[in-house]
Chain A
Amino acid sequence: MIFITNCAEAGWSKMLNIGITGLNAGDSPAPGVPVVRCLTEHPDWSGKISGMVYDALESGGLDRKLVSSVYLLPYPKAGREALLERISYVHKREALDVIIPNLDAELPNFISIREELADMGIRMFIPADEQFKRRSKVNLGKLAAEIGINTPKTRLVTDSSCIDVRQDELPAMVKGLFYDAMMAYTLEEVRHHVHKIASMWGYPVLIQQFIEGEEYNAALIGDGKGNMMAVAGMKKLVFTDKGKGWACVSIFNEGLNELAEQVVSALAWPGAMEVEAIKSKKDGKFYLIELNPRFPAWIYLAKAAGMNLPHLYLQLALGKEITEKMEYRSGVVFTNYTTNLITDLDRISTLFTNGEVEYYAKAV
């Protein structure tokens, strides 16, 4: 049970300008496009969206129905100064009110410039560096032990010479620090997956005990004081070859929600998070698999089932009082589907060369 304020009563009549990242909407979509849809489909929405992309071909950034303008950002490896300089430029053009970062790899840079952005008047509702690190895959075992929850045994591989998995520990999941997860059934597959993930995302690579069971996911918002403001549960119905949910159904599972609440309370988490857990077939217990520090790509399902978490996030980021009740419905199904987006080559080349494109002269 959570509450949402009435924007008009709260004096929220200003046209907002929200910067959104993670706009790729391919076969393994990022959360940006569904976050935009959740925000702009809310009855109280008044504003425009500035897309922020790392590649001119991020498909959501090419959809003029979603974004009013698009800006190229420097890749995360360029560091905080490059990002700060770029956001400062975008802010001069757009007068951003809030930025919602939607990608794991960009968050460390956004966290490191949060104070400078706040001084400019740009709000974010993201964790501090310590909170971000405590929930990382590397530290998940330690966090789980501290708060008394289960998590699969995980070991860190920092170079290819220290892969010390035993035959009796198979199958195992091989995971990148930010992205990718592959199942390995043999020692040969473990080595192959470690090399493959390291070549894509670098070290460390994680080797995680495989827990046989059913996967459950929850999206949530924490208030930063240890309280979970809202939670939305999901079960995947149809999987992509990467194990992503292609079709999903909303669920209400008390065990999952309690797990999410424990995590939020322990971390005093501010903002969005996705909790991934497996209910073990062997002992019936939940095992925490990952804590993603952002909205999940399936967040539009939560909105369809009654929990518009991005809208709630926006209110909290703006410091609004939360007063109106939202209720979550189980049994709501969503499925991805692919379609074709038509755009001008000029628009893409302008984004490549100028680093920005404005679709509309005025806000829509």
Chain B
Amino acid sequence: MIDISKLKELALSESGLIFDPTTGTIYTSNSIGLLILSALREGKEDLEIRNLILNDYDVGELTAERDLYDFYNQLRGSGMVQDA
């Protein structure tokens, strides 16, 4: 489980720009990153997010899961999410 309260404070743009209004930090993300961030903010579970990736991208289940958890680690590293 991850805590997404910080993520909800961020401004996401359709172009993949992520802005933290409290620190001024700007991140950029590709379209799949944006899809995951949007899904997390909507409160979707890991399995639902993995299925969204499978629907939109031509990858297998294992790759989708691995990439999803890699991305979670990036989000933890940047402080956008925390372990609950």
Is the A/B pair a real complex? yes
Cβ contacts under 8 Å, B22 to chain A: 251-254, 330
Shortest B83–chain A CB gap in Å is 18
11 pairs of residues in contact across A and B, judged by CB atoms under 8 Å:
A235-B23, A235-B25, A236-B24, A237-B24, A237-B26, A249-B26, A250-B24, A251-B22, A253-B22, A254-B22, A331-B11
Cβ contacts under 8 Å, A237 to chain B: 24, 26
The answer to whether B21 and A251 have CB atoms under 8 Å apart is: yes
Shortest A60–chain B CB gap in Å is 27
Tell me the A231-256 residues at the B interface (CB within 8 Å): 234-237, 249-254
For the complex, give the distance between the alpha carbons of A279 and B19 in Å. Answer: 18
Could you list which residues of chain A lie within 8 angstroms of chain B, going by C-beta atoms?
214, 216, 234-237, 249-254, 279, 330-331
* B19, B22, B23, B24: residue with the most chain A Cβ atoms closer than 10 Å: B24
Shortest B3–chain A CB gap in Å is 17
The answer to whether A253 and B23 have CB atoms under 8 Å apart is: yes
Cβ contacts under 8 Å, B26 to chain A: 237, 249
Shortest A40–chain B CB gap in Å is 28
Cβ contacts under 8 Å, B21 to chain A: 251-252, 330-331
For the complex, give the distance between the alpha carbons of A254 and B26 in Å. Answer: 18
Q: Nearest chain-B residue to A248 (Cβ)?
A: B24
Cβ contacts under 8 Å, A216 to chain B: 23-24
* A214, A249, A254: residue with the most chain B Cβ atoms closer than 10 Å: A249
For the complex, give the distance between the alpha carbons of A214 and B26 in Å. Answer: 13
Tell me the B10-29 residues at the A interface (CB within 8 Å): 11, 19, 21-26
